Amino acid sequence: MRRDFVGVFDSGYGGLTVLRALIHEFPHEKFVYFGDNAHAPYGSRSVADVQRLAFTSLDILAQAGAKALVVACNTACAAALPHIIERYQVGMHIPVVDVVAPTARALAAATTSGTVGVIATDVTIRQHTYQDALKALNPHLSITAVACPEFVPLIEAGRIAGSDVDSIVARSLSPIAAAHVDSLALGCTHYPLLIDAIAGFVGDGVRIVDASPTAQVLRDVLGEHALLAEDMKQGVTTFVTSADPTEFRARAQAFLGLDVPPVYSSSFFAAECVGQENDEMG
Ligand code: DGL
């Protein structure tokens, strides 16, 4: 089959913050963004649940012809990355790019004091995903890792500003303020959508990093596998959601500040774009 697009997957709207960086970095590339909004938030589910949901969405992207997969969901990476690599990269030769490693590297590079903070979903914090990745990069880091389970439901409901958002952010981030970190990783791709409230609370003295360096990793991976789109091509992005396409389009437009074309429902996309390649799946 012809594999010609980069599949970008998240539980909902959060991966759009990664997609924005990817579209900027790769103006000639074809992307399909898949938001599993019907099942968001992933962050407070069991690990087994997140694995199952991630496979369901990633299978659709793989079967529809993804040439590479960006898992733009820290929670899915925390719950399932080795299995995802096994299934798609090893089993189907579709390179997989995750968001944890680039974000952790950016945080380790940003700190000067060695006292850092990470905020993420319950699953990501419970799995010690960032704690382990950061300790592997620099065993001397002092890490305060805090779950912020109230953030994703707010964002999925379209609430990213206002006094109620500010007070939830302040309450959630009080351990970060108490730890006097000099750098903070947004270890959930939804959180950059709350950047004004988060930056306002932690103040100018704290460097904030997110998953946007994933774009550079994707460049390296596509280059290595000779998968980069040709320069003459005009890039295009298709959006797919497991929830309501009209609502997704309106929210995505507001969050991205970009014109978003009509959005596919995941069932329609699967029926239209997934061909006879099911026997490829392991
Ligand atoms: N945006 C995702 C992450 O990076 C998942 C958030 C959620 O669904 O709880 O963790």
Verify whether residue 188 is a known catalytic residue: yes
Locate 25 and state its tokens.
């970095």
What is the distance between the alpha carbons of residues 89 and 269, in angstroms, rounded to a whole number?
A: 22
Find the residues whose C-beta lies inside 6 A of ligand 1.
10-12, 14, 40-43, 73-75, 121, 124, 152, 188-190
What is the distance between the alpha carbons of residues 143 and 118, in angstroms, rounded to a whole number?
A: 7
Q: Which helix H or strand E contains 68, and what residues bound it? A: strand 66-71
What is the distance between the alpha carbons of residues 81 and 77, in angstroms, rounded to a whole number?
A: 4
* Reported pTM: 0.95
What is the distance between the alpha carbons of residues 94 and 112, in angstroms, rounded to a whole number?
A: 37
* 8 A C-beta contact, residue 219 and residue 25: yes
Residue 180 CA to ligand 1 center (angstroms) comes to 25
Verify whether residue 73 is a known catalytic residue: yes
Give me the tens of pLDDT residue by residue for the chain, a chain 282 residues long.
789 999 999 999 999 999 999 999 999 999 999 999 999 999 999 999 999 999 999 999 999 999 999 999 999 999 999 999 999 999 999 999 999 999 999 999 999 999 999 999 999 999 999 999 999 999 999 999 999 999 999 999 999 999 999 999 999 999 999 999 999 999 999 999 999 999 999 999 999 999 999 999 999 999 999 999 988 778 999 999 999 999 999 999 999 888 999 999 999 999 988 854 444 443
Predicted local distance difference test score (pLDDT) of residue 281: 40
> DSSP assignment, residue 261?
P
Residue 230 CA to ligand 1 center (angstroms) comes to 32
* 8 A C-beta contact, residue 263 and residue 249: yes
What is the distance between the alpha carbons of residues 131 and 266, in angstroms, rounded to a whole number?
A: 34
What is the distance between the alpha carbons of residues 69 and 32, in angstroms, rounded to a whole number?
A: 10
What is the distance between the alpha carbons of residues 238 and 60, in angstroms, rounded to a whole number?
A: 14
* 8 A C-beta contact, residue 183 and residue 114: no
What is the distance between the alpha carbons of residues 92 and 86, in angstroms, rounded to a whole number?
A: 9
CA atoms within 13 A on the CB side of 182: 10
What is the distance between the alpha carbons of residues 96 and 81, in angstroms, rounded to a whole number?
A: 9
Residue 178 CA to ligand 1 center (angstroms) comes to 25
Tokens 């390649």: give the residue. Answer: 277
* φ, ψ (nearest 5 deg) of residue 115: -105, 110
* φ, ψ (nearest 5 deg) of residue 209: -120, 155
